[in-house]
A and B are shown apart, each in its own frame.
Chain A
Amino acid sequence: MSDQILRGIPASDGIAIGSVFCYVPDELSIPVCAAGTIVEEMARFDKARERARLELQSLYEAIKKRAGKEEASIFEAHQEMLFDPTLESKIREFVEIGQTVEHALVNATAELANLLAGMPDELFAGRALDVKDVGHRVLRILLGLPDTALSAVTEPSIIVAEDLTPSDTASLDPKLTLGFATAQGGLTSHSAILARTLGIPAIVGMGAGLLEQVSSNTSMILDGRTGELILEPDDETSARYKQIKAQRESHLQILKAVAEKQACTANGRHVEVAANVGEAASARSAMEYGAEGIGLLRTEFLYLEDTQPPSEEKQYRIYREIFEVMAGRPVIVRTLDIGGDKPPSYLPFPDEMNPFLGWRAIRISLDEPELFKTQLRAILRAAVGHQARIMFPMISDLDELRRARAILETVKRNLELDSVEFAANVPVGIMVETPAAAVLVDVLAEASDFFSLGTNDLTQYTMAVDRGNAKVSGLFQPLHPAVLRLIWQTIEAGHAKGKWVGMCGELAGMTKAIPILLGFGLDEFSMNPRAIPEAKHLIGKLTDEQTRSIAGQVMSLGTSADIENYMKDILVAL
């Protein structure tokens, strides 16, 4: 017998195997009774509305705790809809023609929900469900019924429903919800978003008639990867899916276990594994992948998406949000790092023969002190109560570093004069990405609290190669002996001056480079969040003795090809 398969839109990854709970929300029936006076009916509405506001407020708090502020914000939106003046005046119109407030509410919300449901854009049309949800809540309160929704689910089940409102989803018990499938909804539905946040497998948009094909208490497999629902699977299919599910879970477990732990070498030395992040959203994913901090917060995105530079307030808000997501873990904010290859419209860029050797990064900041000061003010203010660090890009000598620090001191003085709260003791470091900086680390240490190697630029400038130029891009070799020597010197010189040295270039996340960098004594590895679990896993397999010997061996090899081959053998043997 072949299994019956239904298909929808895969909305949240994972596999659920279990029994079905068909969820059909109670049709609230309004008892027949005569309407009171307009004043009486509207007073009942006001009272129910106030109760609804309190319910929504506590739902907001509960979801915020469970899934975060962003997921909870839907219940703030519901509170706004609840007090919508158009909703109220529509209800009043129906009451004025003699309806009870219950009927008036149903008619008014249906009318407004229909306006939204007919809109062509999915995001806007989706708000119809919110209006209905709000209306349903008030009606339920008017009828004196408790907030039950999905509380009838008492056994772990796969929920199948026509659609799930935000209130329905909020009442899902994640422990009893193996997964859910809905006839309606899209990837941007609140339920789909929440499912992804909570890691519940889900399929949406299965089409009308879903509930007619599925019955409660039958068995089902829900594959959130492919969007397939398999109804009453035979033993063979069940066994196959159980195996896939187990494999998937054990792999996730391993990575999760690794991600949760601090990165330690096999002999127990802790090295920091951090994430490179370019926006607030990826700070969240960095945390999921087990970042112990942000080793590089790129701020360019703030500068490139508008026709004017970002205001201090906007920057403050975004930095603050990222610091809060990282909850006390260190965050290194790199100041503006742009150049003529990607110029924002509001800066007077000259025509440049070589934008990569031109007016860029700290060079711009020093020439445009107002732009620079705005950013530093925002960082220092946002850093209050957090572990923020400031990092200047593309420093090539002590004079530049001193000038940048002098501007930072001016900014601090001005903040003091303005009596604005700011973090006074934010550590300040530099990116080591020019060969000049790499050979001057002992000198730069006078004014730098830490160093972070940017290997993409360091490779490009050391090898004098443009990696976008196919004719010569073969010379872009981050494992080139010349680049590795500069990295080694930087770490040695930094340590000799008592400063820690990290790396935020691509190399830091490459398995073929990690053993060498450990052997050099690198203190911090900052990488794409997705590379973190693998990197932590690898670090845990190596002892310091091993990596020192690997590094020594690598330093004796003369070409990148030799080094690549040697590392390939090392990794295979691990």
Chain B
Amino acid sequence: MAEATIPVKHKVGLHARPAALFVQTAAKFSSRIKVKNLTANGNFVDAKSIIMVLTLGVMKDHQVVIQTEGADAQAALEALQALIENNFGEA
């Protein structure tokens, strides 16, 4: 299992396009991927579910925890981490 805690810098948080990109990226991997909003102290949800990711209410500067488990766990974690760190390819 791999885990990372990352701040989300995007101005809309995990909503709209960033949320969609996050879920699409997670869906590319076979590993089980869970994500939670550390700042809001919520529960882990399925990172491949757009609806559940939206229920986390991740806003700008919130910290998220990502946990991956499975054959491509490390690659999945790195991909999601890179996506958030590169601010979803934008500002």
Q: Do residues A306 and B51 form an inter-chain contact, with CB atoms below 8 A?
A: no
Residues in B neighbouring A155, C-beta threshold 8 A: none
Q: Do residues B51 and A112 form an inter-chain contact, with CB atoms below 8 A?
A: yes
Complex-state Cα separation, A80 to B48, whole angstroms: 10
Q: Do residues A84 and B55 form an inter-chain contact, with CB atoms below 8 A?
A: no
Which chain B residue has the least Cβ–Cβ distance from A305? B91
With known contacts A116-B54, A131-B51, A123–B12 Cβ distance under 8 A: yes
Q: Do residues B87 and A306 form an inter-chain contact, with CB atoms below 8 A?
A: yes
Residues in A neighbouring B91, C-beta threshold 8 A: 301-302, 305-306, 310, 314
Q: Do residues B89 and A313 form an inter-chain contact, with CB atoms below 8 A?
A: yes
Q: Classify chain A's interface size.
A: 20 to 34
Complex-state Cα separation, A313 to B89, whole angstroms: 8
Quick check: is B80 within 8 A (CB to CB) of the other chain?
A: no
User: Closest CB of chain A to B18's CB: distance in Å?
Assistant: 12
Q: Do residues A80 and B23 form an inter-chain contact, with CB atoms below 8 A?
A: yes
Instruction: Tell me which of A81, A124, A131, A305 has the highest count of chain B C-beta atoms within 10 A of its own C-beta.
Output: A124
User: Closest CB of chain B to A90's CB: distance in Å?
Assistant: 10
Q: Do residues B50 and A311 form an inter-chain contact, with CB atoms below 8 A?
A: no
Residues in A neighbouring B57, C-beta threshold 8 A: 119-121, 124
Contact flags (1/0) for B15-36 with A, using CB distance below 8 Å?
1110010011000000000000
Which chain B residue has the least Cβ–Cβ distance from A82? B50
Which of B17, B51, B86, B87 contacts A84 (CB under 8 A)? B51
User: Closest CB of chain B to A516's CB: distance in Å?
Assistant: 39
Which chain B residue has the least Cβ–Cβ distance from A121? B57
Complex-state Cα separation, A131 to B12, whole angstroms: 20
Q: Do residues B20 and A76 form an inter-chain contact, with CB atoms below 8 A?
A: yes
Contact flags (1/0) for A62-94 with B, using CB distance below 8 Å?
000000000001001100110011110000000
User: Closest CB of chain A to B22's CB: distance in Å?
Assistant: 11
Quick check: is A115 within 8 A (CB to CB) of the other chain?
A: yes
Q: Do residues A116 and B49 form an inter-chain contact, with CB atoms below 8 A?
A: no
Interface residues of A in 303-342 (CB under 8 A from B): 305-306, 310-311, 313-314, 317-318
Complex-state Cα separation, A301 to B20, whole angstroms: 25
User: Closest CB of chain A to B35's CB: distance in Å?
Assistant: 13
Residues in B neighbouring A310, C-beta threshold 8 A: 91
Which chain A residue has the least Cβ–Cβ distance from B23? A80
Q: Do residues A80 and B90 form an inter-chain contact, with CB atoms below 8 A?
A: no
With known contacts A124-B15, A311-B86, A314-B90, A86–B52 Cβ distance under 8 A: yes
Q: Do residues B89 and A85 form an inter-chain contact, with CB atoms below 8 A?
A: no
Q: Do residues B89 and A84 form an inter-chain contact, with CB atoms below 8 A?
A: no
Residues in B neighbouring A318, C-beta threshold 8 A: 90
User: Closest CB of chain B to A281's CB: distance in Å?
Assistant: 12
Quick check: is B69 within 8 A (CB to CB) of the other chain?
A: no
Q: Do residues B46 and A121 form an inter-chain contact, with CB atoms below 8 A?
A: no
User: Closest CB of chain B to A305's CB: distance in Å?
Assistant: 5
Complex-state Cα separation, A124 to B42, whole angstroms: 15
User: Closest CB of chain A to B64's CB: distance in Å?
Assistant: 15
Residues in A neighbouring B48, C-beta threshold 8 A: 85
Q: Do residues A115 and B55 form an inter-chain contact, with CB atoms below 8 A?
A: yes
Residues in A neighbouring B54, C-beta threshold 8 A: 116, 124, 127
Which of B46, B50, B59, B86 contacts A77 (CB under 8 A)? B50
Residues in B neighbouring A116, C-beta threshold 8 A: 51, 54-55
Complex-state Cα separation, A76 to B24, whole angstroms: 12
Complex-state Cα separation, A571 to B50, whole angstroms: 58
Q: Do residues A86 and B51 form an inter-chain contact, with CB atoms below 8 A?
A: yes
User: Closest CB of chain B to A561's CB: distance in Å?
Assistant: 44
Which chain A residue has the least Cβ–Cβ distance from B85? A308
Which chain B residue has the least Cβ–Cβ distance from A113? B51
Q: Do residues A85 and B12 form an inter-chain contact, with CB atoms below 8 A?
A: no
Which chain B residue has the least Cβ–Cβ distance from A87? B51
With known contacts A80-B20, A80-B23, A81-B51, A86–B46 Cβ distance under 8 A: yes
- Other than the given A80-B20, A306-B87, A311-B86, 16 more pairs (CB < 8 A) read A77-B20, A84-B49, A84-B52, A85-B48, A85-B49, A87-B51, A112-B51, A119-B55, A121-B59, A123-B12, A123-B15, A127-B54, A131-B51, A306-B91, A317-B89, A318-B90
B residues in contact (CB < 8 Å) with A = 12, 15-17, 20, 23-24, 45-46, 48-52, 54-55, 57, 59, 86-87, 89-91
A residues in contact (CB < 8 Å) with B = 73, 76-77, 80-81, 84-87, 112, 115-116, 119-121, 123-124, 127, 131, 301-302, 305-306, 310-311, 313-314, 317-318
- List the 7 closest pairs (A to B, CB-CB), nearest first: A86-B49, A80-B50, A115-B55, A84-B51, A86-B52, A84-B49, A112-B51
